[in-house]
Amino acid sequence: MAVGEMITSARLCTFEVTREYFTAITDKDHEVDKWEDTLCYQLGQLDGVRDVDYDGHFGEFIYFTIDDIEDCERLRNEIRIMIHNYARGAE
């Protein structure tokens, strides 16, 4: 059996944020009235982003999957800005 080339169709990404940002994000998530107002939901609504997760169990990380690696850099920059704005708005 021959094994062909591995094809990557999605990329798991992680952002590490400061403890202050992480606390601001999770505190704000607990204060909002609707799930749709959480950062997790908002990031998951971006076209091509899925499996957003952060809970602090493994540190101050935000995990997500980008479906199309061709869009990876653009989406990572957009997500970085969204995380920053969400955390700063919670301060």
Closest CA to 71 of 6, 19, 8: 8
**Which runs of consecutive H residues, i.e. helices, occur in the chain?**
19-31, 39-44, 72-90
CATH number for region 11-90? 3.30.70
Can you give the pLDDT at residue 90?
56
In a structure prediction context, what are the per-residue pLDDT tens digits for the chain, which is 91 residues long? 466 565 556 788 888 999 999 999 999 999 998 999 999 999 999 999 999 999 888 889 999 998 887 778 888 899 999 999 999 885 5
Can you give the pLDDT at residue 84?
93
What is the H or E stretch that residue 20 is in? helix 19-31
> Which pTM value belongs to this model?
0.80
**Per-domain residue ranges of the chain:** 11-90
CB 79 within 8 A of CB 49: yes
CB 29 within 8 A of CB 40: yes
